[in-house]
Amino acid sequence: MYSYNCAIVQLQVKIMIIAIAAIKGGVGKTTLTFCIAATLAQMGKKVLCVDLDHQGDLSAALGVEKDASSPNIGQVLFAPKREQSDLFAQAIIKVSGGVDLITPGINLGAYQSEIEKGLASESRLKDALDQFNVTYKTYDYILLDTPKGEGLFTKNALVASDSVIVPVQTEYFSLKNIPELLNLVSEIADRANPNLVVSMIVPNRMKSTSLHKSIYEQLTEWDVRSYLSHQEAPAWVAPPIRDLTVYAELSAQGQSLYTYSGSKAEHRAPFIEIAEHLELSKTSEIKCEVETVG
Ligand SMILES: Nc1ncnc2c1ncn2[C@@H]1O[C@H](COP(=O)(O)OP(=O)(O)OP(=O)(O)O)[C@@H](O)[C@H]1O
Ligand SMILES: [Mg+2]
């Protein structure tokens, strides 16, 4: 007589640190960050968002003042390396909806100039996170919302991250800006963070015109690896996010996809697919052990 004991074991890799970056301004970096964060939290994941933009749009979208963290992210990055992990932990604010946040403060630009005068200015966030994740082991995901441009905080995010999510507006000139970001990712992979990959492209503000559709087609055919010689797998092109006022209303109201009365299942659907894709790529191994007992 035989009996089968089938055990499904999911081994999760370490905390996933993701930069949402585009170089170009106004393409949806912040919107993707808070919608992905809310969706992961809704799925029961522990999520921390770090607002690396002096504008503090992510903080506002989560209903928090941009100077709410004490210390703020500028102070954490400016601090001596041995203190950074504990300061990072102190800076975290609990936001309703299960997403935690660190805010930029009101003078992130001033910290930028001071940090740039010191050593290892581009790896300050990595230094903080490496030790924080060993000591505190709190999160499944850390999402880094970057400002526009290739400045210090964008570079810090890319040096600290495992992967990059790139929002791209499905508009005529928007593809023109991707190579700039990919060249920066390639340089950072070469010099500072060899495992950094562009894992996902998210077409944003999609309209149902033939131009938008043809740009979406181009995106699906495009291979980021032509710019990223170190990257083995292609980037996944997420389902398009439609151009809808509901997404703009979320940040204006400081509400999430799961609390705002105007948000419907169809608005959440692409973000659920994105979150499920992240979870799939995070699961390193599924083992089915079949034991045969004779
Ligand atoms: N899918 C969408 N539909 C409608 N409006 C959107 C959508 N995505 C983003 N927006 C709006 O577009 C504007 C820019 O979006 P967002 O702030 O997310 O971009 P960003 O890349 O973070 O900008 P910045 O470079 O200034 O940080 C915001 O007003 C936002 O509400
Ligand atoms: Mg933004």
- The span from the CA of 160 to the CA of 177, in Å, is 22
Which sequence spans correspond to the domains of the chain? 3-293
Confirm if 224 and 234 have CB atoms less than 8 A apart.
Answer: yes
- The span from the CA of 184 to the CA of 196, in Å, is 11
Token reading at 144? 């880094």
Token reading at 52? 């690396």
- The span from the CA of 284 to the CA of 14, in Å, is 10
Confirm if 284 and 12 have CB atoms less than 8 A apart.
Answer: yes
- The span from the CA of 85 to the CA of 125, in Å, is 10
Residue 23 near ligand 1, beta carbon < 6 Å: no
Cα-based distances in Å from 86 to 90, 134, 162, 164: 6, 11, 22, 26
CATH 3.40.50.300 holds for 3-293: yes
Phi, psi (deg, nearest 5) at residue 263:
-90, 130
- The span from the CA of 17 to the CA of 164, in Å, is 9
Pocket test for ligand 1, best of 20, 23, 24, 30 (most atoms within 8 A of CB): 30
The neighbouring-strand residues paired with 7 are 289
Beta-carbon contacts of residue 100 (< 8 Å; ≥ 6 apart): 46, 47, 48, 49, 92, 93, 94, 139
Confirm if 30 and 53 have CB atoms less than 8 A apart.
Answer: yes
Beta strand extents in 13-140 (DSSP E only) = 16-20, 47-51, 93-94, 99-102
Residue 204 near ligand 1, beta carbon < 6 Å: yes
Per-residue pLDDT of the chain (294 residues; tens, 9 = 90+): 444 454 444 444 579 999 999 999 999 999 999 999 999 999 999 999 999 999 999 999 999 999 999 999 999 999 999 999 999 999 999 998 889 999 999 999 999 999 999 999 999 999 999 999 999 988 999 999 999 999 999 999 999 999 999 999 988 777 888 999 999 999 999 999 999 999 999 999 999 999 999 999 999 988 999 999 999 999 999 999 999 999 999 999 999 999 999 999 999 999 999 999 999 998 743 333 334 443
Nearest to residue 218, comparing CAs of 184, 260, 178, 247?
178
Cα 186 → chain centroid: 18
First to last CA, the chain: 6
Residue 53 near ligand 1, beta carbon < 6 Å: yes
What distance in angstroms lies between residue 230's CA and the mean position of ligand 1's atoms?
Answer: 31
Q: DSSP letters along 236-253, please? A: EEPPPPB--HHHHHHHHH
Burial class (CB within 10 angstroms; exposed 0-12, middle 13-18, buried 19+) of 210: exposed
pLDDT at residue 13 in the model: 52
Residue 262 near ligand 1, beta carbon < 6 Å: no
Q: Which atom from ligand 1 is nearest to the alpha carbon of 33?
A: 18
Residue 257 near ligand 1, beta carbon < 6 Å: no
Q: Which atom from ligand 1 is nearest to the alpha carbon of 249?
A: 31
